[in-house]
Amino acid sequence: MVDGNKMILLVEDDPDHELLTIRALNKSNIANDVRVARDGAEAIEMLFGAEPIKPQVILLDLKLPKVEGLEVLRRIREAPETRMLPVVVLTSSDEERDVVRSYQLGVNSYIRKPVNFNDFAEATRQLGMYWLVLNECPPS
């Protein structure tokens, strides 16, 4: 497994949301490498394929093509090598069932994407500070 040295795996199919997330991380001086999976199948391949990555945190959208985000989360939690990776659902979904199902499947945090860029940038800054600076991850 490739250790990403505090790499972030962003699983996001919307190019605008991808750009906003990366821009907000950069604006917050979070210089960690960001790898992007643009659908659920690509995320699964990156985590479980021939050269799997081990990110510091996974930012997971739920509404994804090919394999939906909840299925990606289920796969992450059932595999011993990824079970303890921090996963943050970062989604525009305001469906209560998505929140409940995410926590049932073992998500670490559920964040609704704010519509306003400044609010989104602040939420991303706080998310980055917590998961990449303050949080103590389990040893590899």
E-strand ranges in the chain read 2-3, 8-11, 34-37, 53-54, 57-60, 87-91, 109-112
Q: Look at residue 89 and tell me if it is in a domain.
A: yes
CATH number of the domain to which 129 belongs: 3.40.50.2300
pTM: 0.90
CB distance 124 to 111 below 8 Å: no
Q: Look at residue 25 and tell me if it is in a domain.
A: yes
Tens digits of per-residue pLDDT, 42-92? 999 999 999 999 999 999 999 999 999 999 999 999 999 999 999 999 988
Distance in angstroms (rounded) separating the CA atoms of residues 133 and 17:
23
Tens digits of per-residue pLDDT, 11-34? 999 998 899 888 888 877 777 899
Report the domain count for the chain: 1
34 beta partners: 8
CB distance 56 to 137 below 8 Å: yes
Q: Look at residue 57 and tell me if it is in a domain.
A: yes
Amino acid in position 115: V
Q: Report which of 14, 9, 18, 13 is spatially closest to residue 88, judged by C-alpha positions.
A: 9
Q: Look at residue 114 and tell me if it is in a domain.
A: yes
Q: Look at residue 139 and tell me if it is in a domain.
A: no
Q: Look at residue 140 and tell me if it is in a domain.
A: no
Per the structure, the complete domain to which residue 29 belongs is given by 2-134
